Structures are given as C-alpha cells and as structure tokens.
C-alpha cells in the first residue's frame, strides 16, 4: 500500500494500492467522509492514467486544489517513482 500526505485540503492522508496499472484500493483519512468514500469506490479498478486525467485540476471552493486533485498528484508521484 502506498501513502501520500496531501497539502491544502482537509484530508490528512491517502493510502492506495496499484495492481497491474489499476487502482485496487483507496483510503482517505480526514476530509468529507461520504464524498471521499464515493471517490474511492469510483476509481477502484480504474487505470492510473485515466484517474489522473479525470481528477487532476479539480478545485474545492476557493482552494486551488481538492482531495481528488491531491489523489491525482499521489498517482503522478507513484508513476514518477517507476513503481
């Protein structure tokens, strides 16, 4: 399981698994529980590239980022590590 510490959002931690290029589990700590559970369920089974494409750039209110955007950054970090 990979771990990412988001910045500028209410969630404090994101943990996720990737198997064969697909997201298999996502767990947010903190943030809007119902919304983040929904996002987690929606991206499970999705290709990493597709999730990045769909979630990158989403904003939360007046913030320049959001929990979904931060998750896309976590996935980009995962990709950059060549894991």
Q: pLDDT digit string (tens) for 50-78?
A: 999 999 999 999 999 999 999 999 999 99
Neighbours of 79 (CB within 10 A): 14
Is residue 79 predicted with pLDDT exceeding 90? no
What pLDDT is recorded for position 60? 95
Which residue bears the tokens 């590590």? 81
- Cα 44 from chain centroid? 11
pTM of the model: 0.93
């Amino acid at each position: 399981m990979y771990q990412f510490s988001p910045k500028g959002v209410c969630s404090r931690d994101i943990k996720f698994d990737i198997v064969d290029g697909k997201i298999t589990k996502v767990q947010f700590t903190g943030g809007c529980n119902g919304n983040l559970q929904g996002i987690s369920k929606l991206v499970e089974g999705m290709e990493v590239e597709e999730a990045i494409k769909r979630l990158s750039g989403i904003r939360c209110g007046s913030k320049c980022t959001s929990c979904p955007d931060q998750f896309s950054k976590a996935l980009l970090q995962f990709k950059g590590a060549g894991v």
